[in-house]
Amino acid sequence: KSFRSSNTANLSEIRTSCRPSSIVLTEKDNAEWGNVVIKHLWPYTDCLIKIFFKQTIEPAIENVLKGFKSNNFGFKTNGYEFGFNIPYFTFKINESQFALNGFKFTNISLGDSPPRISNVQVNEDSSRDEIILDMDVTYDGNGQLEVSLSALMAGIQNIKLMGRLRMVLKPLMCKCPPFGGLQIYFLRNPILYFDVAGLASVPGLSSILSSIINNQIKNRLVLPNSLAFKFSHDIDVISLKYPMPIGIIRIHVKGAKKIKKSDLFGSSDPFCCIHLGSQMFKTKTIIKNLNPIWNYSCEFYAMVSRGQEVEFEVWDFDVTNHDFLGRASIDVSEILQNGSLDKQIPLFDGKGKKLEGEIHIEALWLSLTSKIPFLNKDEFKMKHSAMLRVWLHSAKCFASTKSLPNPFVRLSLGNIAKYSAVLVGTKSPLFEEGFNFMINSPETEPPLFLELWDQNTNKIQDKLSIEICSLLEKDNMEIDQEFHCNGTPIGTVAIKLNIALKFFKPPLTESPIVECNNKRQILELRSSTECGKIRLTLQYMNNSMFITIHEMQNLPLEEDGDKPNCYVKIYLLPDRSRNFKRKTSVVKDSCNPVYNSEFNYHITKRELETKTLEISVINKKGFGHLHKSSVIGQIHIGCISLNGDENMKWYLLQFNPLLILSQWQHDTEACSDNSMLHLQQQHDTEAWSDNSLLQQQHDTEACSDNSRLRS
């Protein structure tokens, strides 16, 4: 009886008192049992690591080094481009005398000191069909790699690695194994140190090799890149190995002020590097300025909503070695929750100590949609309005050659070129790689070119081109097919692709809207205080979001002085389907209607983080299909902060220019509750009702229920 009457706090005390004092449970587990398992498995992982380095890392490095050869080994760097700090230099080596080719791993040894994991945490807010584990990984072992490069021998030793690793088991299935795939990736660039021996006599070559290896690790293991393993044939390989981003983060670095004096003459030459995972952008350098103005914009692919930060590092440019001036960061979830940010962030050192100066940034969250949004061109400061996701599945080489080719694919869009991995000795390569491209305007964008190369002969086997504008006519703006092309010089190649186009959609704002006046046909501003207010209760628990519409107050009268007949309509954006629509009953002739209506959505916490709750107050007049509806006001609420607490509060109703029902008629204006807004630059607007089509002209005609109204 006493046990049943105990509350949650008492039960927690009972469980704690029954636990041995030697056992301490924390949210993050050190997972020593996992380290014991890794220690036993470590001697048997040599073969797996060797396969990964030989089949993945080695061809990629060889391909990069050939790029230096094709440029006659002309190399110019300021020390940051390739991630190492060496003096600014330019040198050339005659290709006939020296060429960077023949890169091989001659010996791969992991040593006998395994990596260790700690701070293991399971994400409780993940989707219902996946399990997410985050852990810290450290490796400080005696592993050693030996490589050969153009008859030069080199050794890679004293390898140290530290980073935050995420493992995702998805999708969960009702069979063995209970999950269909595994994703492994670092949330940010890991700290990687190693020494290169044997190449010190060649100026800068050791730094080049170190930089290339660092970049290959980032390009394979750091978001948006990942290692993915498929355990079931029933799952979608694209969503596992290269999922679509959940959104785009647009960053505008305005400048900084009062930064640290780094030079001997009491000044600095600052530049800023912006990071999100393996993605990096760099501003220009402002010479001798402690209050630099960069006005630099860039865009990132956001793959996860939690666990990642947009990082800003301010450096003082120096010929020999850049000086660190401070860093700042913004959590991705904060940008997603607010939609847009404009803030000044103080600079800190690597240990969290506050330094001199602060940086001024703007951040904007852009969701992705398969529908062409109606956007004001002035809303975007940058040229990109969409993204193109290309999934390179496989290819078939029908050309008759004496030896098996080492194929890889070059993809180019405009002046941006990307390369697939090199697959050794096959005429039917299975690439299963994804690539993203930023798009300016699909109508005017140049074609996407794909070239299939053979690394052995350094020749093109075949090529094809795809018009970006052709995706606008496809269902969901997506193509999934095998492309046959009759190219030159050898023969015919078939390449299987999945290409998807997604437009950028800015966050919904709560700024006042301009409303069309039907008598004078002009746009007038209406203040938010005239719209009234609404009282809501929001709560999230047990994978469900609960919404209670209590009441509204101070709703405006109609132009003729009548009281409105209002109901409330709810959407969980960005989805506007019937499954995500809720609405109350109509309360007639009241400026202070009371509803006390309850609604709910069954949705996981992770899915909820990307949703926005749209609540619209609709004034409904008339009967049947001849009724007219107008939006009195709207509110938009981000759902990322909802929790188990009941959050009841008043919200001021405001207008929204993207979703309000515009009315352009002279005398009669009609549309149904299910009509959608399409603001266009032409003189006429079309709105579809549940059963009739309303069109605008100079005269008004009223017909039967299924007739057409023309004004």
When pLDDT is cut at 50, 70 and 90, the band that residue 463 belongs to is confident
To the question of pTM greater than 0.85 for the whole model, the response is: no
Provide the CATH number for the domain formed by 247-369 in this structure: 2.60.40.150
Phi and psi at residue 668, to the nearest 5°: -110, 130
Burial 237-270 (b: 16+ CB within 10 A, else e): bbebbbbbbbbbbbbbbbbbbebbebeeeeebbb
Question: How many CB atoms are located within 10 Å of the residue 233 CB?
Answer: 7
When pLDDT is cut at 50, 70 and 90, the band that residue 602 belongs to is confident
Coil, strand, or helix at residue 369?
strand
pLDDT at 529: 42
Token couple for 573 = 């954006």
The highest-level CATH class for domain 386-505 is mainly beta
**Residue 424: which residues within 8 A CB-CB, separation 6 or more?**
55, 59, 406
For the chain, give the percent of residues with pLDDT over 70.
73
**Residue 1: which residues within 8 A CB-CB, separation 6 or more?**
none
Query: Between residues 223 and 702, which one has the greater pLDDT?
Result: 223
**What sign results for the dihedral spanned by CA atoms 381, 383, 385, 391?**
negative
Instruction: Give yes or no for a contact between 510 and 654, defined as CB atoms under 8 angstroms apart.
Output: yes
pLDDT at 448: 92
Spell out the SS3 assignment of 502-549: EEEECCCCCCCCEEEECCCCEEEECCHHHCCEEEEEEEEECCEEEEEE
- Under DSSP, the state recorded for 472 is G
Instruction: Give yes or no for a contact between 110 and 52, defined as CB atoms under 8 angstroms apart.
Output: no
pLDDT at 427: 86
Angle at CA of residue 102, ends 96 and 103, nearest 5°: 130
| Mean pLDDT confidence for 485-503 | 75
Q: Is the pLDDT reported for residue 710 higher than 50?
A: no
**Per DSSP, what are the bridge partners of residue 710?**
695
Q: Is the pLDDT reported for residue 304 higher than 50?
A: yes
Most confident option among 111-120, 189-198, 293-302, 696-705: 293-302
Give the tens place of pLDDT for each residue, 329-352.
Answer: 999 989 988 888 999 999 998 787
**Per DSSP, what are the bridge partners of residue 227?**
184
Integer Cα distance of 308 and 333 in angstroms: 8
Most confident option among 5-9, 404-408, 483-487: 404-408
pLDDT at 434: 92
Instruction: Give yes or no for a contact between 97 and 131, defined as CB atoms under 8 angstroms apart.
Output: no
Distances 148 to 274, 350, 406, 434, 574 between C-alpha atoms, Å: 35, 36, 20, 30, 53
Q: What is the DSSP annotation of 531-594?
A: S-EEEEEEEEETTEEEEEEEEEE-PPPPTTSPPP-EEEEEEEET--SGGGEEE---B-S-SS-E
Instruction: Give yes or no for a contact between 687 and 563, defined as CB atoms under 8 angstroms apart.
Output: no
Q: Is the pLDDT reported for residue 248 higher than 90?
A: yes
pLDDT at 405: 85
Q: Is the pLDDT reported for residue 74 higher than 80?
A: no
Integer Cα distance of 187 and 222 in angstroms: 6
Question: How many CB atoms are located within 10 Å of the residue 543 CB?
Answer: 14
For the chain, how big is the Rg over CA atoms in Å? 30
pLDDT at 295: 92
| Mean pLDDT confidence for 256-270 | 85
Q: 154: number of CA atoms within 13 Å, CB side? A: 24
When pLDDT is cut at 50, 70 and 90, the band that residue 513 belongs to is very low
Write down the architecture of domain 514-710 according to CATH. Answer: Sandwich (2.60)
**Residue 504: which residues within 8 A CB-CB, separation 6 or more?**
248, 366, 367, 368, 373, 380, 384, 385, 386, 387
Question: How many CB atoms are located within 10 Å of the residue 187 CB?
Answer: 21
pLDDT at 197: 74
Tell me which residue has tokens 């993203």.
436
When pLDDT is cut at 50, 70 and 90, the band that residue 67 belongs to is low
| Mean pLDDT confidence for 576-581 | 82
Token couple for 658 = 């993207």
pLDDT at 294: 94
Give the tens place of pLDDT for each residue, 641-695.
Answer: 777 676 788 888 876 443 443 333 333 333 333 333 333 333 343 433 343 333 4
- Under DSSP, the state recorded for 291 is S
Instruction: Give yes or no for a contact between 245 and 235, defined as CB atoms under 8 angstroms apart.
Output: no
Q: Is the pLDDT reported for residue 528 higher than 50?
A: no
Q: Is the pLDDT reported for residue 277 higher than 70?
A: yes
Token couple for 105 = 């791993």
Integer Cα distance of 317 and 321 in angstroms: 8
| Mean pLDDT confidence for 289-309 | 91
Query: Between residues 46 and 678, which one has the greater pLDDT?
Result: 46
Instruction: Give yes or no for a contact between 657 and 671, defined as CB atoms under 8 angstroms apart.
Output: no
Give the tens place of pLDDT for each residue, 368-406.
Answer: 888 776 555 444 445 688 999 999 999 887 666 677 888
When pLDDT is cut at 50, 70 and 90, the band that residue 485 belongs to is confident
| Mean pLDDT confidence for 266-270 | 87
Q: Is the pLDDT reported for residue 593 higher than 50?
A: yes
- Give the sheet arrangement for strand 612-621, strand by strand: 581-583, 566-573, 612-621, 628-638
pLDDT at 701: 42
Q: Is the pLDDT reported for residue 308 higher than 80?
A: yes
Mean pLDDT score of the chain: 75
The strand pair at 293-302 and 581-583 is best described as: unpaired
Q: Is the pLDDT reported for residue 526 higher than 50?
A: no
Query: % helix / strand / coil in the chain, to the nearest 5?
Result: 15, 45, 45
**What sign results for the dihedral spanned by CA atoms 365, 369, 374, 378?**
positive
| Mean pLDDT confidence for 585-601 | 88
Whether the ω angle into residue 224 lies within 30 degrees of 0, i.e. cis, is yes
